[in-house]
Amino acid sequence: MNGFRVMTSGVILGAIFLSGCNNSAEPDEAQQEKSPVMNENPDSNTGETQNAEVIKKGVGDVIQSIKGLESEISTEADSGKIQEMGKEISSTWDSIEKQVEDQYPDWYERIEKNLYPLIGESGNPDKDLEKMKRLSEATKEDLQLFLEEVK
């Protein structure tokens, strides 16, 4: 019976020892891919800079989508095309919305005050093109001002 205890203890201790052998102080490549921050220069604020660049690019994309919608409105394109452009604006905004809301809550509210009615009107079967023109101009103006704020 004593031999069985010694052998069982040896097997358990061996398993514990071997399970710890694969752990290392340095992360493997897969871990580094999951957390790219570890590869960055700690003296730089690249995380903040990258986030600001993502927001700037997203806002620029939203502005371009709104300009596309405006040209559809000015040519009085078919209702389906205008609705499609509204969906594109919504999708583009959605890609940065959470970051803007978290980092710039005042701007978020200001932008969405005109943006959501614009998107809503684009999906309306009886579109008010004059209202859409006003909303698109106001939204573009707010987005341009916001771009100046993003650092």
Mean pLDDT of residues grouped by 10 in the chain (151 residues)? 58 54 49 44 58 94 95 84 94 96 95 96 91 96 94 75
Q: Which of 56, 60, 51 shows the shortest CA–CA distance to 89?
A: 60
CA 47 to chain centre: 14
For 62-89, b/e burial (b = at least 16 CB within 10 A) is bbebbeebbebbeeeeeeeebbbbbebb
- 12 — phi, psi (to 5°)? -65, -50
Q: Determine the pLDDT at residue 46.
A: 58
Instruction: Work out the angle between the directed axes of helices 46-74 and 105-123 (0-180°, nearest 10).
Output: 30
Q: Determine the pLDDT at residue 10.
A: 56
- 150 — phi, psi (to 5°)? -70, 130
pTM of the model: 0.67
